[in-house]
Structure 1
Amino acid sequence: MAADEITVTVIDDHPAILVGIEQWYANASRPITVVASGSTAKAAWTPPGDTADVVVFDLQLSGQGTPAYGDLRRLVDAGRRVIVYTMRDDEQAALTCLDIGAFTFLTKNEGADHLVEATLAAGQDRPYTPPALAGAFCANTRADRPKLSTREEEVLVEWFQCESRELVAERLNISTRTVTTYLERVRLKYANVGRPARSKAALVARAIQDGLVRVDDL
């Protein structure tokens, strides 16, 4: 396995989708390998799928009358980076997945380029907002926006645009510890209004929802 290789477990019950995803990954700019796949979330909990860097997850599997939010939550709670990749294209499903803690949300209509870019972003721990998710953010209005201080907003936006907290500290002429303190305050404020943001990608989602940044700024 190459040092920079990203490994993926794919949960989807359509064989043609599985074949297509493997082919898209084979042509990616950085090595991406599907190490496991299956029609249920079990594939992400058993070797070799249990150690994959990223889980690509179909929200609406055959035999399930409702979206598999429970399986998604269990994966997120276990610390897995989950890309929801689904035929569902409704705003509420997208926002619910982000609220649960999914890395990002893509519709299958968005195709190869967006899935590959989202997987690369997940493997590199940087945010990725595809068009459908951006549209859901823009259409959504939240009455439960936490009150952030000017400095908290400033640190948050700088962090979105930087590769590290150290670079944020350098730009703002503060210590790395102070950057971490501000970011933890922001996470706490979002958690206190019932909108937890456990990852950088989730914080990006919250900031876009609340009008702190635009998708074009990222």
Structure 2
Amino acid sequence: MHDEPASPDAASSMVGRDRRWRLALLDDHEVLLDSLRTWIDANAPDFEVVLCARTWIELVRSPQFPTDIVFLDFQLQEPVSIEARVRTCRAAGAAVVVLTSLDTDDARQRALNAGAAGFVSKAESMPQVMDAARTAMGVALDTVLQHDWRPLPSGAVAPVRPSLSQGEETALRLYASGLSTSQVAERMDVKYETAKTYLRRVREKYARVDRPAGRKSELMRRAAEDGYLR
């Protein structure tokens, strides 16, 4: 993972909230655990790392578990499958983002089928990892997001939902699930520039109905408001 500076939007996700998301980290590499915790503490003020575990048992037996969200390493030297780990966390009420150096279609599908909200390669930058975490919280706690984003008062006119083409909607859903633009292109089996164009058109259509979506945080908000994160 690359320790790039946090995006300017990082702190904005705290607006309207009276606490930070409680985050647990599970990885059997102690150096990586320390690096993750240090970076998040310094650059992601909307998250609080309350638990760092090197083994599955250490995670689930901690009095801090369950947390709001868990970062799980896909490959642990333990006989507990990724499916069992993800499903246990989900059953306990925690959203899950899988971090892995095994970035294959099979690994991704296994994690997502088990209920993980995000699947991120360890080659991605830390801001991208935290973007996936914010998206995961949007999926897992939609009612909280609606509260934070101040629903319209009774009798107010509902915001206009732009009409998206099938390609634009698919690109938005994949991007909102935590994938990068290049990963969206790969999943859609299109060129990178095509995926980039789909997302640009989505932003333009939201701008035309006076619902800005130029920044990633704004686009995630529009996706959640219009049901694309469900």
TM-score, structure 1 normalization: 0.57
One of 157, 178, 186 as aligned partner of 1:129: 178
Report the aligned-residue RMSD: 3.1
The answer to whether 1:87 aligns with 2:101 is yes
Which residue of the partner structure matches residue 103 of structure 1?
Answer: 117
Residue 71 of structure 2 contacts residue 97 of structure 2 at CA under 8 Å; is this kept in 1?
yes
Which residue of the partner structure matches residue 161 of structure 1?
Answer: 222
CA deviations 1:43-93 (Å, max 9, x no partner) are 4423433131110000101245x8532222222233320000011110111
Residue 43 of structure 1 contacts residue 50 of structure 1 at CA under 8 Å; is this kept in 2?
no
Alignment of 1:46-125 (within 5 A): 46-64=61-79, 68-125=82-139
One of 34, 42, 47 as aligned partner of 2:57: 42
Residue 8 of structure 1 contacts residue 49 of structure 1 at CA under 8 Å; is this kept in 2?
no
Count residues with an aligned counterpart: 149
2:70 alignment partner, SS class:
strand
Residue 68 of structure 2 contacts residue 93 of structure 2 at CA under 8 Å; is this kept in 1?
no
Structure 2, unmatched stretches of 5+, are 1-16, 143-175, 190-219
CA deviations 1:132-190 (Å, max 9, x no partner) are 75366335xxxxxxxxxxxxxxxxxxx983544xxx5xxxxxxxxxxxxxx8xxxxxxx
TM-score, structure 2 normalization: 0.54
Residue type of the partner of 1:130? Answer: L
Deviates more, 1:78-87 or 1:45-54: 45-54
Structure 1, unmatched stretches of 5+, are 140-158, 169-182, 184-199, 204-218
The answer to whether 1:21 aligns with 2:36 is yes
Distance 1:135 1:68, change over 3 A: farther
1-side partners of 2:50 and 2:78: how far apart? 25
